[in-house]
Amino acid sequence: MPPDYPRLSFRIGGSIGSENENALRRALVDENHDPRLALALLLNVVYGIRVHRIAALKLTDLSVSGGAARIQLGSVGLDLPPVATSWVEIILSGKIDKRRFGGAAHDNTWIFPGYQHGSHQLASSLAARLKNLGAKPAVAHQASSAAIITQVPPAVTARILGISITTAAHWHKLTGDAPAMR
């Protein structure tokens, strides 16, 4: 029988950490920041979206209407803060190219194109890029998820975070909220 290994438990509450706050703050004010990475930081740090879901986002998941940016996460649409509108416009304009060996530089499918045509960037590569900016994606996801859990019903939490409704309801129960009352 294989040895049991310790699992990380989900902690309710906590801080997103000064590293994540500083990385996000730099992304918000530095105009030379890659807009894709700034969007990834925003989605991870503020909305608690896991890096593997961010890496798999398609250009069709983004839109700008009436001067407001929006992202579609499965069946849930999120209105992004005004600061993200310019990032989304740049991403959708196609000004960001990915240099690849022996192929077209521009990808018309993925926000984070991979090195292989037709595939998105690996989540581990995106996480490493976010870490190079000073962020800690796992810590940000956990703290942001805890905040979301206490503010929205379990069904919406499940869709935003990409977890099962049963798990979301269990987490709501751990916070002392009564999801049935929402």
* Residues 145, 135: Cα–Cα separation, whole Å: 16
* Residues 55, 39: Cα–Cα separation, whole Å: 11
Rg of the chain over all Cα atoms, to the nearest angstrom:
17
All residue ranges of the chain with pLDDT < 50 are: 5-13, 179-182
Q: What is the pLDDT of residue 96?
A: 54
The answer, as to whether pTM is greater than 0.85, is no
The CATH number given to 18-141 is: 1.10.443.10
Q: What is the pLDDT of residue 12?
A: 43
Q: What is the pLDDT of residue 181?
A: 44
How many helices, marked H, and strands, marked E, lie in the chain? 8, 3
* Residues 51, 181: Cα–Cα separation, whole Å: 32
Q: What is the pLDDT of residue 54?
A: 93
| Torsion sign over Cα 38, 55, 127, 14 | positive
Domain edges within the chain:
18-141, 152-182
